[in-house]
A = this chain, B = another copy of it.
């Protein structure tokens, strides 16, 4: 399904984009924009993924988060295999309208990450370094606000 062009208005002036009330999303040269998903209940950041125009339109119209998977080169309804769909509670855009914030409820087993973790962000930077100087990661508390 091609994205309905009417859902997204053409880009206007900076004033229109920053202060207007008409959605004028800007996709990158690769046709994608980043979308951050947070848990509507806990506010935890669950994942960061990419949307093209079709994925964004599907997300708005179905109320279920859709992305563009760069590795598989296709539209991806989150949870289509696992059942852990993301039911959209709210969609926000930023000042430049080139990023999306989705507040969602995770359905199914409640895991947003393909590893089975609730959030993809399950590791935190530690002050430890390897012998070669690389930063070490440690398990992150979850959920964390």
Interface residues of A (CB under 8 A from B): 4, 6-9, 18-24, 34, 36, 38, 42-45, 47-48, 60, 90-96, 99, 101, 103, 113-115, 117, 120-126, 130, 132-138, 140, 144-145
Contact = CB atoms under 8 A, between A and B. Distances in A.
Number of copies: 2
Nearest to A103: B144
A37 B108 CA distance: 27
B130 A9 contact: yes
Nearest to A99: B48
Contacts of A48: 34, 36, 94, 99, 101
B92 A135 contact: no
A120 B18 CA distance: 10
A113 B103 CA distance: 20
Given A43-B43, A44-B43, A45-B101, A135 B60 contact: yes
Contact of A140 (B9, B47, B92): B92
17 contacts: A6-B134, A7-B133, A9-B132, A34-B34, A36-B36, A43-B43, A45-B92, A90-B144, A91-B125, A93-B125, A95-B113, A95-B117, A95-B120, A95-B122, A99-B120, A103-B144, A145-B145
A121 B94 CA distance: 4
A120 to B, nearest CB: 4
B133 A23 contact: no
